[in-house]
């Protein structure tokens, strides 16, 4: 830096090459600098170098992100396992007689005989995909007796299939299809209209005196209705049962 005789200002330019930094130009009057321009230049140069260092660091400092991270969604809850229904006999649930308005009398002997016929149907084992197995018989007075066995929808027990005649297995041979539908009648005090009882996943139902069509759950999966027509006494009647091929065959009981 130098002072001109006609111009009492001093100019100094600080540059650095070949790096691409800004050029700093410092201008001051000789009077303001006193007679010590070198000390002024030294101070200004120091400030320039500090500014240069800050600019240089700023070029290479990593940028810090201030974005808020998205919350982690909660995990999907585990599906609730289907409860296991014990392979035992449950209580009899008797129907409400008021749901059978004007029903005819149910004959005890007829109900017993038809219960035996139902238990003799050509059914082996029943599983969850087999639907309903209905049996309808009409006595000599024109009164309907409806029997049905079906696997309860969504039910899971300790076995995949149950025997129709012995739903708890041969070790529990006293619990039979005949006994279940018979006691749906004898254990209910409701004018003989019957009830239902679940054993494991099989539901055994007897309905007495229902007119019109058979219950809605009939004709699902199994697809055929077994119909019996009493001619005289229950011990001597002809009836139709579902054959092994799904058709209807005649079976005369003598």
In this structure, the answer to whether residues 186 and 99 fall within a common structural domain is yes
73 domain-assigned: no
How long, in residues, is the chain? Answer: 254
In this structure, the answer to whether residues 55 and 95 fall within a common structural domain is no
pLDDT, tens digit, 9 for 90 and up, residues 212-242: 765 443 333 333 344 444 333 333 333 434 4
Neighbouring residues of 248: CB distance < 8 A, sequence distance ≥ 6: 224, 226, 227, 240, 241, 242
180 domain-assigned: yes
Residue 81 has pLDDT above 50, yes or no: yes
Pairing of β 132-138 and β 238-242:
unpaired
Interatomic CA distance for residues 154 and 204, integer angstroms? 16
Residue 42 has pLDDT above 80, yes or no: no
Report, as an integer, the average pLDDT of 192-221.
80
Q: What is the domain extent for residue 30?
A: 9-60
In this structure, the answer to whether residues 104 and 195 fall within a common structural domain is yes
In this structure, the answer to whether residues 42 and 124 fall within a common structural domain is no
Q: Alpha helix (H) ranges present in the chain? A: 30-33, 37-60, 108-119, 177-186
56 domain-assigned: yes
Interatomic CA distance for residues 254 and 248, integer angstroms? 19
In this structure, the answer to whether residues 52 and 107 fall within a common structural domain is no
114 domain-assigned: yes
**Domain end position, chosen among 41, 60, 79:** 60
pLDDT, tens digit, 9 for 90 and up, residues 109-163: 999 999 999 999 999 999 999 999 999 999 999 999 999 999 999 999 999 999 9
| pTM for the model | 0.59
In this structure, the answer to whether residues 104 and 142 fall within a common structural domain is yes
């Amino acid at each position: 830096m130098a002072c001109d005789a006609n111009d009492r200002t001093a100019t100094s330019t600080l540059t650095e090459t070949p790096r691409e930094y800004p050029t700093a130009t410092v201008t001051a009057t000789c009077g303001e600098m006193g007679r010590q321009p070198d000390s002024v230049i030294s101070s200004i140069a120091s400030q320039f170098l500090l500014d240069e260092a800050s600019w240089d660091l700023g070029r290479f400092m990593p940028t810090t992100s201030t974005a808020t991270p998205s919350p982690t969604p909660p995990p999907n809850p585990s599906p609730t396992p289907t409860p296991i229904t014990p392979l035992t006999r449950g209580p009899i649930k008797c129907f409400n007689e008021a749901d059978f308005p004007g029903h005819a009398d149910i004959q005890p002997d007829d109900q017993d005989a038809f219960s035996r016929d139902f238990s003799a149907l050509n059914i082996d084992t029943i599983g969850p995909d087999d639907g309903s197995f209905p049996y309808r018989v009409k006595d000599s007075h024109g009164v309907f007796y409806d029997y049905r066995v079906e696997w309860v929808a969504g039910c899971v027990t300790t076995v995949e299939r149950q025997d129709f005649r012995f739903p708890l297995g041969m070790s529990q041979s006293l619990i039979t299809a005949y006994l279940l539908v018979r006691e749906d009648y004898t254990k209910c005090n409701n004018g003989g209209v019957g009830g239902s009882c679940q054993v494991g996943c099989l539901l055994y139902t007897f309905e007495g005196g229902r007119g019109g069509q058979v219950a809605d759950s009939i004709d699902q999966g199994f697809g055929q209705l077994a119909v019996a027509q009493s001619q005289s006494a229950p011990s001597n009647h002809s009836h139709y049962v579902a054959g092994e091929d799904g058709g209807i065959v005649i079976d005369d009981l003598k």
